[in-house]
C-alpha cells in the first residue's frame, strides 16, 4: 500500500467510527435489527445474522476487496469528496431483507438480491444470502461495495461507468489477497456477440447518456442482461483494450469527476470530443478479437502443477520443463483435489487439459512454463537439492499468475500469486533467460574468441567502489543517489551518498528501479 493509500484509509476508518457512533434508533418491531450482531473488520462493521464463521469470512473478503479499490484510488490524485460512512447489512432470509429495506431505507427490494443505497453521506450495502453459499455471495459484495466507494470518490459517475466498473470488480477473482481483474469469460463474449447480431446493443450515443431512471426502466423491461454485460465490456475496453491504450485517459476521466466536473466535461478533458461511432467500432473489435479467459481454472491448474512438483520432490525428482513434469506425473498416476473458490474438484495427470492454460488455442503463446529465478540458479553442485522451479503463465492478458515457493524448515511451501508480484516473477524469468542464453553450437565462437590470460594474484588491488545510481519513486515525486545493499522480504536497502541507509518497499520504486533490483538479485 503506498503513501496515498495510507492517507485515504484512515479517513474511511474515521468515517466508519462515526457510522457506528451515529446509528439511528431501532424501528419498533424490527426484530432483526435489534438482534443481529456486528462483526468488525479493518474497514467495515458488518451487521448480520449469518453464522459467525461465515460472517467473519465475508468480512475478511470485504477487506481484501476494499484493498483492491484502494489500490485503484491510490493511483490517482484524488481526494475524499465527503466523509465516508460505509455500512454493510447481510441478512440470512429474504423476508428480513425486504423488511429492513422498507422500514429502514424506505426502499422496495422486490426481485433484488442486494442493493447499494445512498442517504446523505452514508452509503449502505444491503443484501441477503438465502440458500446461496459464501462463495456465491462474494461477487455480489464485490459489485455493490464498489458502488459504495465510487459514491465517495467519484460523484456524478455516469451509469454506464458506475455499473461497468462494478461489473468488472464483480468478475474479479480473489487470488491470495489480490483481486485479479480483466477476465473475459467465454459466456460473456457469446452474449455480447449475440446481442450485436440481434441488434439489442444500445447505440453508444444513447448508452453514454443513459440516466439512472432510464436504466431502471430498461432493467424492469427485461433488458438487464444485455445492459450489464454491455456496461462491463465498455469498462473492460477502456481499461484493457490494445494493451491498456485507453486506460490513462479513463483514469483521467475519473480524476476529473473527483474534482467536481460533470461526466461530459470530464470525458471531453480526458479523450477530446467523443466520436461515439468510432468508439463503438473499436469496442466491437475488442469484443470480437479478445480471446476468452478463465482465471479460476487457470489458478486451479497452477495449484495442481505445484502440488505435483511437491510430490515429486519427495522422491528427489526435479523436472526441468513442463513436458518432463507431465511425463513424471503421468508415470505415478498423480491426482490432486482442489478446494479453491469454494468448490472441490479432482484434477489428474491423465487429463491432458490439466497441463494447458484455458483457451490456449485462441491465444498465441498462452502456456504454462517452468522457470528458475532463485539466486545461484545453474551454479549448484550435484549434491545440492535445487529449490523448486516457479511456474508462470505466459500469454495471458491483462492479468498474469505464477507459482512461487518459500522454505519452511526442510520443506518448501508454494503459493499461487497474481498481480504485480506475479509480473515480477515473469520479468525476472525473462531477464534470467536473456542472460543465460548461449549459442546452441559450442564451437560458434571458437574462431573469434580472444585468448584468455590466466588470472594473477593481485593482493594490492582495491575492491571496486560501489556503483551509485539515481533511484526514483513510483509516483516520480522523490529521487535519491544510492547504492543497492540488500533486497529481501519485499524491501530494498539502499546506502545513500551521505552514508545513511534506508529501507524502501519494493512496490514504491519506479518500474525501471524494480527491474534493476530483480536483475541485481538474480546475479547474486
pLDDT class for 80, splitting at 50, 70, 90?
Answer: low
The conformational region for residue 51 under phi > 0 = left, psi -120 to 50 = alpha, else beta, is beta
pLDDT number for residue 436: 56
Mean pLDDT throughout 74-103? Answer: 81
pLDDT number for residue 285: 97
Write down the residue that cell numbers 422496495 correspond to. Answer: 108
Mean pLDDT throughout 320-333? Answer: 95
pLDDT class for 91, splitting at 50, 70, 90?
Answer: very high
Say yes or no to pLDDT of 413 above 80: yes
Q: List, in order, residues 6 or more apart from 446 with CB less than 8 Å away.
A: none
Gap between the Cα atoms of 55 and 144, Å rounded: 17
pLDDT number for residue 456: 41
pLDDT number for residue 445: 41
pLDDT in tens, 201-259: 999 999 999 999 999 899 889 899 999 999 999 999 999 999 999 999 999 999 999 99
Q: Pick the residue with more confidence: 279 or 496?
A: 279
Q: Pick the residue with more confidence: 215 or 478?
A: 215
User: In the chain, count of helices (H) and strands (E)?
Assistant: 17, 17
pLDDT class for 82, splitting at 50, 70, 90?
Answer: low
Q: Are 144 and 114 in contact (CB under 8 A)?
A: yes
Q: Pick the residue with more confidence: 336 or 456?
A: 336
Indicate the range of 16-25, 60-69, 290-299, 416-425 predicted with least confidence.
16-25
Among 185, 213, 215, residue whose Cα is nearest residue 202: 215
Write down the residue that cell numbers 442486494 correspond to. Answer: 114
Say yes or no to pLDDT of 15 above 80: no
Three cell numbers, residue 259: 474534482
Q: Where are the alpha helices (DSSP H) in 315-357?
A: 322-331
| pTM for the structure as a whole | 0.76
- The residues that bridge with 403 in the sheet, in sequence order, are 391, 416
Tell me the longest C-alpha to C-alpha distance in the chain: 94
Mean pLDDT throughout 158-170? Answer: 96
260 by Cβ neighbours in 10 Å (0-12 / 13-18 / 19+) ranks as exposed
pLDDT number for residue 498: 59
Strands 491-496 and 501-505: antiparallel
Say yes or no to pLDDT of 123 above 50: yes
* Mean pLDDT computed over every residue of the chain: 83
pLDDT class for 375, splitting at 50, 70, 90?
Answer: low
Say yes or no to pLDDT of 22 above 60: no
pLDDT number for residue 90: 94
Mean pLDDT throughout 121-133? Answer: 87
C-alpha 83: how far from its chain's center? 27
∠ at Cα 216 (215, 220), nearest 5°?
120
- The residues that bridge with 117 in the sheet, in sequence order, are 124
Say yes or no to pLDDT of 457 above 70: no
Indicate the range of 7-21, 87-101, 124-138 predicted with least confidence.
7-21
Gap between the Cα atoms of 167 and 174, Å rounded: 15
Say yes or no to pLDDT of 429 above 80: no
Q: Return contacts of 340-345, CB within 8 angstroms, 24+ apart.
A: 340/296, 340/299, 340/300, 340/303, 341/135, 341/173, 341/296, 341/299, 341/300, 342/133, 342/134, 342/135, 342/136, 343/135, 345/300
pLDDT number for residue 454: 39
pLDDT in tens, 273-313: 999 999 999 999 999 999 999 999 999 999 999 999 999 99
Amino acid at each position: 500500500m503506498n503513501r496515498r493509500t495510507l492517507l485515504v484509509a484512515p479517513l474511511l476508518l474515521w468515517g466508519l467510527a462515526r457510522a457506528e457512533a451515529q446509528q439511528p434508533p431501532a424501528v419498533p418491531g424490527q426484530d432483526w435489527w435489534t438482534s443481529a450482531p456486528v462483526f468488525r473488520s479493518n474497514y467495515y462493521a458488518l451487521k448480520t445474522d449469518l453464522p459467525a464463521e461465515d460472517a467473519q469470512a465475508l468480512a475478511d473478503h470485504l477487506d481484501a476487496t476494499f484493498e483492491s479499490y484502494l489500490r485503484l484510488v491510490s493511483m490517482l490524485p484524488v481526494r475524499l469528496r465527503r466523509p465516508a460512512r460505509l455500512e454493510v447489512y447481510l441478512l440470512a432470509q429474504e423476508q428480513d431483507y425486504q423488511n429492513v429495506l422498507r422500514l429502514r431505507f424506505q426502499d422496495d427490494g422486490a426481485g433484488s438480491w442486494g442493493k447499494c443505497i445512498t442517504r446523505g453521506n452514508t452509503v449502505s450495502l444491503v443484501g441477503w444470502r438465502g440458500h446461496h453459499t459464501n462463495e456465491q455471495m462474494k461477487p455480489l459484495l464485490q459489485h455493490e461495495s464498489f458502488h459504495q466507494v465510487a459514491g465517495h470518490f467519484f460523484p456524478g459517475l455516469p451509469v454506464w461507468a458506475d455499473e461497468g466498473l462494478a461489473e468488472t470488480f464483480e468478475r474479479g477473482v480473489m487470488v491470495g489477497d489480490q483481486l485479479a481483474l480483466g477476465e473475459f469469460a467465454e459466456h460473456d463474449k457469446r452474449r455480447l456477440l449475440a446481442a450485436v447480431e440481434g441488434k439489442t446493443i444500445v447505440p453508444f450515443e444513447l448508452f453514454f447518456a443513459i440516466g439512472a431512471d432510464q436504466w431502471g426502466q430498461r432493467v424492469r423491461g427485461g433488458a438487464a442482461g444485455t445492459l450489464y454485460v454491455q456496461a462491463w465490456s465498455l469498462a473492460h475496453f477502456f481499461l484493457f483494450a490494445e494493451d491498456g491504450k485507453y486506460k490513462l485517459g479513463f483514469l483521467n476521466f475519473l480524476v476529473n469527476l473527483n474534482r467536481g466536473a460533470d461526466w461530459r466535461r470530464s470525458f471531453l478533458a480526458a479523450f477530446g470530443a467523443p466520436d461515439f461511432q468510432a468508439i463503438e467500432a473499436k469496442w466491437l473489435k475488442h469484443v470480437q478479437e479478445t480471446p476468452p479467459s478463465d482465471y479460476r481454472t487457470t489458478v486451479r491448474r497452477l495449484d495442481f502443477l505445484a502440488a505435483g512438483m511437491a510430490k515429486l520432490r519427495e522422491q528427489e525428482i526435479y523436472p526441468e520443463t513442463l513436458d518432463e513434469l507431465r511425463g513424471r506425473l503421468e508415470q505415478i498416476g498423480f491426482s490432486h483435489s482442489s478446494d479453491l473458490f469454494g468448490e472441490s474438484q479432482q484434477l489428474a495427470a491423465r487429463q491432458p487439459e490439466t497441463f494447458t492454460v484455458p483457451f490456449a488455442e485462441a491465444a498465441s503463446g498462452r502456456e504454462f512454463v517452468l522457470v528458475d529465478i532463485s539466486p545461484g540458479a545453474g551454479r549448484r553442485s550435484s549434491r545440492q537439492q535445487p529449490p523448486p522451479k516457479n511456474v508462470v503463465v505466459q500469454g495471458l492478458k491483462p492479468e498474469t499468475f505464477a507459482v512461487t515457493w518459500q522454505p519452511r524448515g526442510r520443506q518448501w511451501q508454494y503459493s499461487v500469486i497474481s498481480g504485480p508480484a506475479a509480473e515480477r516473477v515473469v520479468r525476472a524469468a525473462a531477464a534470467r533467460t536473456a542472460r543465460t542464453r548461449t549459442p546452441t553450437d559450442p564451437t560458434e565462437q571458437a574462431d573469434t574468441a580472444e585468448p584468455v590470460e590466466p588470472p594473477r594474484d593481485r593482493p594490492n588491488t582495491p575492491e571496486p567502489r560501489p556503483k551509485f545510481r539515481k533511484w526514483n519513486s513510483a509516483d516520480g515525486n522523490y529521487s535519491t543517489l544510492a547504492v543497492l545493499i540488500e533486497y529481501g522480504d519485499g524491501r530494498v536497502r539502499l546506502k545513500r551518498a551521505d552514508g545513511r541507509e534506508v529501507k524502501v518497499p519494493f512496490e514504491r520504486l519506479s518500474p525501471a528501479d524494480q527491474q534493476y533490483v530483480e536483475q541485481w538479485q538474480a546475479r547474486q
